[in-house]
Amino acid sequence: MDHEIESDICMSNLDEQYPRVNFRLGVQIGDEIAVRSESGKTPDSIAKRDLDRYYILLSRSLPTFLESEALFICHALNDSRGNPRMIHRIWVDVCEVLDDSDQVDFNKIALVERLKALTPFECMAVFDAVERYWVGHYHMDDETSKKRLREVGLVAK
């Protein structure tokens, strides 16, 4: 087989398996990448490296909850924006919904105190898991919901 054709087939397979992502960095991210630039490193390689690190840390930092707590958190944070500067306050969104809830089968105070004690990065990991919980699954039966909570890591497997 011609080397060029073989190379095109390999690239085509890579493109299908790993889609290309393009975005403008903007001022803040551009500045952050600039201070991390090493000789010979391109901004896209630095951004990819940092995203790899970010996703690994999200999975390692995610606390687990009781099933009923995790489901409640998912519903409470469903409409939140996840502003990184305010992420440490996810407990406020949960608390507001808890105030309107008459019956839950977990200790409300203990959950809020636990959420307050989370680090900002743990809060981001919780928020990320909530976003993943809802991706494409707005109408779930109980069994699917329980499965999704485990898949995204909010409940231990």
Per-residue pLDDT reduced to its tens digit, 86-103: 899 999 999 988 887 777
| pLDDT at res. 24 | 87
| Contact of 26 with 34, CB cutoff 8 Å | no
pTM value is 0.83
pLDDT tens string 57-69: 999 999 999 999 9
* C-alpha pair distances (Å), 11 with each of 5, 6, 7, 20: 10, 9, 6, 11
